[in-house]
Amino acid sequence: MYNSADDNASGSSANLAIAERMMTGPRPKRSVIFIWDSGEERGLWGTRYFVHRPPVPLEKIVAHVNIDMIGASRAPGSPDVEAAGATGPNEVYLIGPGVLSAQTDALLERTNREYLNLRFNRDHDRADSEFFYPRTDAGPFLERGILTIGFTTGIHARYHAPSDEARHLDAKKMEAIARTVFMVVWMLADSTERPRIDRSIPPTVLRYQ
């Protein structure tokens, strides 16, 4: 039995919580589309289908925010304390804005600093990281020149194993990340200045016209 609690029920539950809050709170200036895609390991089937059959013109999509595995923590006593690829307490990998957009990076840093002040780990926020590209559901969006932003707590020994169960997740950390992503999405959607890529897309990224 593979319950897939961290990969990616953790990200899916955050997506649900953010969508619920968006529906009950003040609406930002821009629309927000929520996607639950599948087939990533098969070849990014879900997001590739989306970009080929988008519900709105792709040029109207200003950013793609990806929440993929946010339940791990190297906190003392946690099951991931020895997991070198996982983040520590109050820490999450932020991937994309440092490579792609100084404007968006500054907005995310300011929003986070003034809210829950998580530690943004930038180890994978670089052009040569496989988690920036191509090993991400955000890949098909980036290939079409759409700004991508990723949140994850990283890889651990339960990855793609039957032991990936909910009892191993750090629920408080998941909540803090979900709240932070909500604020980031809301600020991006409400920003007067249109979020954009203002740095060169790395040449390693395939491009589609």
With cut-offs at 50, 70 and 90, classify the pLDDT of residue 51.
very high
Q: Helix 102-113 to helix 171-190 angle, to the nearest 10 degrees?
A: 130
Note the pLDDT of residue 40: 87
With cut-offs at 50, 70 and 90, classify the pLDDT of residue 191.
very high
pLDDT of 39 strictly over 90: no
* Structure token digits, residue 25: 């709170």
Residues of the chain above pLDDT 90, percent: 96
How does pLDDT run across 27-38, given as a tens digit for each residue? 999 999 999 998
- Cβ proximity of 75 and 81 under 8 Å: yes
Note the pLDDT of residue 41: 86
Domain map (residue ranges) of the chain: 5-190
Note the pLDDT of residue 7: 97
pLDDT of 67 strictly over 80: yes
- What is the Cα Rg of the chain in Å? 16
pLDDT of 139 strictly over 80: yes
Query: 5-190 has which fold?
Result: Aminopeptidase (3.40.630)
Average pLDDT (69-75) is 97
The helix (H) or strand (E) run that includes residue 63 is strand 63-67
Rounded to whole angstroms, how far apart are CA atoms 174 and 73? Answer: 10
Judged by DSSP in three states, 89 sits in coil
40 compared with 90, residue with greater pLDDT? 90
